[in-house]
Structure 1
Amino acid sequence: MPVERELSLRAVSTGMLLGIFLTPSNVYAGLKIGWSFNMSIIALLIGFGLWQGLTSRFKHLPDWTLHESNINQTVASAAASIISGGLVAPLPAYTLLTGNALPALPMMAWVFSVSFLGIWIAWYLRPSLINDAELKFPEGMATLETLRHIYSHGRETAVRLRVLFGAALIAAFVKWVDAFYRAFPRWAPSAQLERLTFTLDPSLLLLGFGCIIGIRVGLSLLLGAVLAWGGIAPWLIDQGMVHLPAGSTGPQFSVLIEWLLWPGVSLMVCATLSTLALRLFQQSRTHPQARRRLRFSRPEPMPLLGLFLAMVLVVGLQSMLFGIDVFMALLTIPLALCLAAVAARIVGTTGIPPIGAIGQLSQLGFGAIAPGQITINLMSANTAGGAAGQCTDLMNDFKVGKMIGATASRQALAQCLGILVGSVVGVLVYKALIPDPQAMLLTQEWPAPAVATWKAVAQTLSAGMDSLSTSVRWAILLGGLAGIVLGLLETGTPAYKWRYLPSAGALGLAFIIPASVSMMMAMGAILTWLVSVKRQGLAERFAVTTAAGLIAGESIMGVSASLWELIKNSA
């Protein structure tokens, strides 16, 4: 298969342009619900549709090759995955706990450096993991199947693009009407339910995410919302453990979340860590030779220079931006190498990047090494989590590249260009959306569950359990035990039984986001399930495409509305 046109100017430019438009969606969604969307397939569809249209109209243009499509999606997905570098988790948590907010340029440099480290870790893991037949990399294979499909069925791509853009326009219109005209008031059956955040949220973005997460996760979110906001929250008020402001009306999210986040975070962290531990144990038992295979490739001059530069950037910026001792900063490098390797192997097996677990595991490690030091706990752990996130994203791209005969070094360069775009755009969007983190985050408008998780873990490790009330300590204990049990059951249960278990991550998340968010996502999951029961083929063809359009349309309009408000207020 010829690869003359692979890292072409138009492939890179298209990927960078798509990255500029897609990155805000993940930043927006990360601050809303703590989840992000893989943009590889969307970038493939848009890039193919754009260039097929141009080449059919202008005959002198060369065909848009399969390898150019691969470079395009590599750049775009790298840009959109920049939030794993800490943009919507440890960095805001650092601001909330210390009162220090990084200016835009230093924040861009930090997010880029952490992601840059992950790219070169992936490079040296590549021969060991990509050539391992037992590691399927499901997310990469889904991208590969889409890539092959669009080159075999061009008309199908045109149909999916119309669905994508149609859904995006509808979501953007609804958000525009809601943002500028307040045409969709948050309705609740009663004042009591409204106080407990059980309101109807007209968010098509949440509906879109519900279409993607599946019926099990959707129902788990609904169960968690009923348990946390419908059961525990009113009990806390009745028992006087949470005091609402006198005469308060409307949703009381910011007051109730101060208690509810602790069992929710404990449940999620313990579930993800127990799942991670059991998966590693199962792999070591099933494949005892895996440890021998998991080795770094032979050093090469240019990638070695990239790895060295990444380490210098990460260590230097920890010292300059956060005042972390150089020796302590150096400890983040071997931890990042080890945990990124662990994350890459798990992604290769399950397709699920355990970035949350990796981050919290890093926090626990630095909590033991440097107890009571919040900055080290957050930002040194950010290095491992961010590197692991970008490493797993590139490993999926490497898998696609291997199957189509792409050049690995060109993919790595494309990934570097992607994180450069993502760092700039992601930080600018974050600054526009959240100009005042102390006042805006962990609120009904911006629940930021990932921020709440990192903040809660750092607080607990720095101040100790004694600083918390007795009721909160019991909640943490019970949430942790429930998380461990559910995490072990999820991992150790056969697939045909596993689907009947509640999702531990979704249950914990429902404690940290308003009930209105969980209900809307559950609604999307239920609607998609109902369609799949009646018309399975229709759901398989258009569910993800429709969801991506709803997510992109609302988030881009939401970012635009925030920018408009910022400009109007500064005028």
Structure 2
Amino acid sequence: MRDAPSTALPPVRIERELSPRAVLTGVALGILLTPSNVYAGLRIGWSFNMSIIALLVGFALWQGLAGRSKGRPAWTLHESNINQTVASAAASIVSGGLVAPIPAYTLLTGHQLDPLPMMAWVFSVSFLGIWIAWYLRPALLDDHGLKFPEGMATLETLQQIYHHGHEAMMRIKVLCSAALLSGLVKWIDGFVWAIPRWAPSPGLERLTFTLDPSLMLVGFGGIIGIRVGLTLLFGAALAWGGLAPWLIDHALVVLAPNSSGPQFAALVEWLLWPGVSLMVCATLTSLLVRLLQMPRQRPAELQANRAAHTLGRFSLPPACGLLLAIALVVALQALLFGIDWWMALLSIPLAICLAVVAARVVGATGIAPIGAIGKLSQLSFGLVAPGQVAINLMSANTAGGAAGQATDLMNDFKVGQAIGATPHKQLIAQCLGILIGSVAGVLVYLVLIPDPQALLLTEQWPAPAVATWKAVAQTLMQGLGALSPELRWAIVAGSAAGVLLGALDSLLPQRVARWLPSTGALGLAFILPASISMMMGLGAVVTWLVGCRWPSVTERFAITAAAGLIAGESITGVAASFWEMVRML
């Protein structure tokens, strides 16, 4: 990915920015795209940045209407930016805990939040993240060492669609075609004819080695790249093809007599421990090394930044917004989870510290350390309040979720800075986005997972992020002594491998480190069914092969086609769940 756009945008006078049609388009796209991230987060633990999809769809819609009606004003550059800001803020609502700590809290305590309190909670965490991002914005965006590659990718797409409108229309056709194909396959599999899950043998089927007819997984494979895809395949072979049979043979995992079909639920209860340990230790080690490697500002630069950005920036309206966000999140921790107010207050400075760390890492590398900051927040509260599930999960959710949301929104601010957008209008767009995302995301989650105890951590809904938060909370609550000796050794082995791989990945030259397995994908393969890892690996390999033969085609259309495959299946899957709920009424 290039660090900066290849061409400069022409000077643009801001005529329309926070217009009703820009906001409503972003709201509509946010309602459509938020379910995709909730669905994908519960299936594979990953989400997708929706900025580029929102840009393409909004441009195609309004430029098409303007072309048919000569009196209709053109869709401006700044309206496109507001549209993508609202939509991406809505879709990033999963950072607020909807697919990780909230379900983990239900699994450990049996307490399921009602819809309105859950919406309020997810909104409050994200709302705090917005105001943290607002105060980080001046200093971080003016730091020339932070390029924010993801924001630059969105900016480059914005350039292309306004310089080459025909190219945008071509991408829209690819996006829609891929979405229709993926949605059709999902509809056939769910309503017309259950597509068989082929397995080479009954023994391999029991170990979850089946072919899952999911084009969404193929689409994610096209996005993650060949290194991550091959690591998923290797991890699946190691965990489910090597370790799982050994566990069964040595009676460390006891399956039901005459059991048939995939035995994911029984095996993942053991396999998740080394996988989670590897992921946590690798991400924390890599984060620490990257922070130590970051160039330090000279004292004169630091003093200039303070003078320019810190003093005078705490103006009354933004200060009121930040104070309101703090009051809201502290009050909800006390009311919904029974957390002492002083303990809830500790989540605020931790959220700010983690947001600074995460935003600098994202700005420098483009890699969002969301998993790492979540585990850091859990470990911090595990030390402060050992043995308390609510604090370990929900106060940590406040700190980690707000930091994650702030990190996501810094990319929007980077795009806005490059095109001369009005910052406070972007702030309003982000607030509207998380409001819409909170409502849509919670409704989708409750429709998909009406009974978390029965549905989560199953082959249909592996929910690896939920498994990770739950495992860390259990370990901090009970201690390693409550686990079997074999599990303790597995945790030690996974942790050691994670530290080693995380350190090597950050210390070795990039040309050497790219041959190492991806630590996040390797740990994830222990938690996902082998069928999911296989399909994602297939998507990565196919995209790589096409790129070797036709590089220009993949550069233009690979991400767009993959996004269509993801959106098509996830929206169809959510719609099918809504339809089943209506039929049962």
TM > 0.5 fold call: yes
Q: Is the alpha carbon distance of 1:289 and 1:542 closer, same or farther for their aligned partners in structure 2, counting shifts above 3 Å? A: farther
Asked whether the 8 Å contact 1:283–1:290 carries over to 2, the reply is: no
Q: CA deviation at 1:394?
A: 1.3
Q: Which residue of 1 aligns with 2:503?
A: 488
Asked whether the 8 Å contact 1:12–1:414 carries over to 2, the reply is: yes
Partner amino acid, structure 1, of 2:266: V
d(CA) in 1 for partners of 2:348, 2:38: 26
Q: Which residue of 2 aligns with 1:45?
A: 56
**Residue 546 of structure 2, aligned match among 515, 523, 531:** 531
Is the aligned partner of 1:27 residue 2:27? Answer: no
Partner amino acid, structure 2, of 1:312: A
d(CA) in 2 for partners of 1:249, 1:440: 19
**Residue 452 of structure 1, aligned match among 463, 467, 484:** 467
Partner amino acid, structure 2, of 1:216: R
Q: Is the alpha carbon distance of 1:355 and 1:293 closer, same or farther for their aligned partners in structure 2, counting shifts above 3 Å? A: farther
d(CA) in 1 for partners of 2:202, 2:460: 19
Q: Deviation per CA, 1:498-533: give whole Å up to 9, x if none.
A: 111100000000000000000000000000000000
CA RMSD in angstroms, aligned pairs only: 1.2
Q: Which residue of 2 aligns with 1:276?
A: 287
Is the aligned partner of 1:372 residue 2:375? Answer: no
Partner amino acid, structure 2, of 1:367: G
**Residue 221 of structure 1, aligned match among 232, 236, 243:** 232
d(CA) in 2 for partners of 1:522, 1:11: 38
Q: Which runs of structure 1 show a deviation greater than 4 angstroms over 4 or more consecutive aligned residues?
A: 284-296
Q: Which residue of 2 aligns with 1:168?
A: 179
Partner amino acid, structure 2, of 1:118: G
d(CA) in 2 for partners of 1:488, 1:239: 33
**Residue 303 of structure 1, aligned match among 318, 337, 362:** 318
Is the aligned partner of 1:363 residue 2:363? Answer: no
Q: CA deviation at 1:32?
A: 0.2
Is the aligned partner of 1:334 residue 2:349? Answer: yes
- Overall identity of the aligned pairs, in %: 69
Q: Deviation per CA, 1:323-381: give whole Å up to 9, x if none.
A: 00000001000000110111111110011111110010000000000000011000000
Q: CA deviation at 1:104?
A: 0.5
Q: How does 1:433-472 map to 2 (within 5 A)?
A: 433-472=448-487
Q: Deviation per CA, 1:277-301: give whole Å up to 9, x if none.
A: 1111111568788876886732011
SS in 1 for 2:294: helix
Asked whether the 8 Å contact 1:125–1:294 carries over to 2, the reply is: no
Q: How does 1:3-402 map to 2 (within 5 A)?
A: 3-283=14-294, 297=310, 298-402=313-417
Partner amino acid, structure 2, of 1:487: G
Q: CA deviation at 1:567?
A: 1.9
Q: Is the alpha carbon distance of 1:470 and 1:96 closer, same or farther for their aligned partners in structure 2, counting shifts above 3 Å? A: same
d(CA) in 1 for partners of 2:274, 2:473: 15
Structure 1: 5+ residue runs without aligned partners? none
Partner amino acid, structure 2, of 1:543: A
d(CA) in 2 for partners of 1:63, 1:239: 68
Partner amino acid, structure 1, of 2:283: T
**Residue 475 of structure 1, aligned match among 462, 469, 490:** 490
Asked whether the 8 Å contact 1:129–1:294 carries over to 2, the reply is: no
Asked whether the 8 Å contact 1:531–1:539 carries over to 2, the reply is: yes
SS in 2 for 1:512: coil
d(CA) in 1 for partners of 2:185, 2:251: 40
Q: Which residue of 1 aligns with 2:435?
A: 420
SS in 2 for 1:532: helix
d(CA) in 1 for partners of 2:230, 2:549: 19
d(CA) in 2 for partners of 1:492, 1:409: 39
Q: Which residue of 2 aligns with 1:514?
A: 529
d(CA) in 1 for partners of 2:400, 2:566: 25
Structure 2: 5+ residue runs without aligned partners? 1-11
Q: Deviation per CA, 1:250-288: give whole Å up to 9, x if none.
A: 000000001000000000000000011111111156878
Asked whether the 8 Å contact 1:139–1:351 carries over to 2, the reply is: yes
d(CA) in 2 for partners of 1:354, 1:486: 16
d(CA) in 2 for partners of 1:164, 1:222: 27
Partner amino acid, structure 2, of 1:12: V
Q: TM-score, normalised to structure 2's length? A: 0.96
